[in-house]
Structure 1
Amino acid sequence: MRRVISALLACLAVPLSPALAWWDEGHMQIAYVAYKHLHAPVKDKVDALLKLNPDYAKWTAGTPDEKTAKLYAFIHAATWADDIKGKDYDYKRDDANSATAGQNIGYADRNQHAYWHFKDINFTPDGVPLPPNDPVDIVTQLKLMIATLPPSSGATDDVRSYDLVWLLHLVGDAHQPLHAVGRFTKQLPGGDTGGNAESVIPATGEAIALHAYWDRRFGSYASPFGAMFDADDKDGLSSFGVNKISAAVSDPQAWIEESAELARQYAYAAPVSPGKNSVMLTRDYETNARNISRAQAALAAARLARVLNDTLK
Structure 2
Amino acid sequence: MFPNRLASLFCLVLLLPVNVQAWDALGHRLTAYLAYDQMNDTEQSHWISILQAHPRFQQDFVDAMPADIARLGQAEQQRWQFGQAAIWPDIARGFQGFDQRRFHFPNRHWIDGTWVRDDVPLQGNIYLNMDALPEQTGPANDEITQHSDADNVLTGLVYARYALITQTSPEERAIALSWLLHLIGDIHQPLHTGALFTPNLFPEGDRGGNLTRVDGSNLHAIWDQALRGPSLNRNLAELRAIAAQLDDSFAFEPGQWMLESREILHADVYPDNVIANIQRSDNTGNQLGSMQLRDTYREAMREQALQRVAEAGHRILGTLLNLPR
Shorter-normalised TM range: 0.7 to 0.9
> When the two structures are superposed, what TM-score results if normalisation uses the length of structure 1?
0.75
Write out aligned runs for 1:224-303 (5 A): 230=232, 235-241=237-243, 243-245=245-247, 248-273=250-275, 274=278, 276-303=288-315
Q: Distance in 2 between matches of 1:233 and 1:126?
A: 39
Does the 8 A contact of 1:50 with 1:56 survive in 2? no
189-198 or 211-220, which moves further after superposition? 211-220
Say if 2:151 is the partner of 1:144.
no
Write out aligned runs for 1:104-183 (5 A): 110-122=102-114, 123=125, 124-128=127-131, 130=133, 136-150=151-165, 153-183=166-196
Give the aligned length.
Answer: 263
Q: Distance in 2 between matches of 1:109 and 1:188?
A: 30
Deviation at 1:242, TM superposition (A): 5.3
Gaps of 5+ in 1: 1-19, 93-106, 202-206, 221-228
Q: Distance in 1 between matches of 2:220 and 2:23?
A: 10
**Corresponding position of 1:97:** none
More RCO (CA 8 Å, sep 6+): 1
In structure 2, do the counterparts of structure 1 residues 312 and 68 end up closer, same or farther at CA, with 3 Å as the change threshold?
A: farther
1:141 partner letter: G
Percent of aligned pairs with the same amino acid: 26
Write out aligned runs for 1:196-235 (5 A): 196-201=210-215, 207-219=216-228, 230=232, 235=237
1:68 partner letter: E
Q: Distance in 2 between matches of 1:183 and 1:108?
A: 30
Q: Secondary structure at the match of 2:90?
A: helix
Q: Which has the larger radius of gyration?
A: 2
**Corresponding position of 2:37:** 36
2:237 partner letter: D
Say if 2:97 is the partner of 1:69.
no
Does the 8 A contact of 2:93 with 2:100 survive in 1? no
Deviation at 1:125, TM superposition (A): 3.3
Deviation at 1:136, TM superposition (A): 1.9
Show CA shifts across 1:53-103 (max 9, x none).
2223225562432211211111122111111112xx2157xxxxxxxxxxx
Does the 8 A contact of 1:196 with 1:210 survive in 2? yes
Q: Distance in 2 between matches of 1:173 and 1:51?
A: 23
Gaps of 5+ in 2: 1-20, 115-124, 139-149, 282-287
In structure 2, do the counterparts of structure 1 residues 23 and 44 end up closer, same or farther at CA, with 3 Å as the change threshold?
A: same
In structure 2, do the counterparts of structure 1 residues 289 and 247 end up closer, same or farther at CA, with 3 Å as the change threshold?
A: farther
Q: Distance in 1 between matches of 2:177 and 2:311?
A: 19
Show CA shifts across 1:205-235 (max 9, x none).
xx11100000011239xxxxxxxx9368663
Does the 8 A contact of 1:49 with 1:157 survive in 2? yes
Deviation at 1:171, TM superposition (A): 0.8
**Corresponding position of 2:61:** 56
1:178 partner letter: L
Deviation at 1:286, TM superposition (A): 1.2
Does the 8 A contact of 2:251 with 2:318 survive in 1? no
54-63 or 172-181, which moves further after superposition? 54-63
Q: Distance in 2 between matches of 1:257 and 1:129?
A: 18
In structure 2, do the counterparts of structure 1 residues 232 and 163 end up closer, same or farther at CA, with 3 Å as the change threshold?
A: farther
Does the 8 A contact of 1:118 with 1:173 survive in 2? yes
Q: Distance in 1 between matches of 2:236 and 2:312?
A: 20
Q: Distance in 1 between matches of 2:29 and 2:249?
A: 19
Say if 2:96 is the partner of 1:90.
yes
Q: RMSD of aligned C-alpha atoms?
A: 2.7
299-308 or 243-252, which moves further after superposition? 243-252
In structure 2, do the counterparts of structure 1 residues 245 and 252 end up closer, same or farther at CA, with 3 Å as the change threshold?
A: same
In structure 2, do the counterparts of structure 1 residues 231 and 139 end up closer, same or farther at CA, with 3 Å as the change threshold?
A: farther
Q: Distance in 2 between matches of 1:162 and 1:302?
A: 21
Say if 2:87 is the partner of 1:79.
yes
Deviation at 1:238, TM superposition (A): 2.6
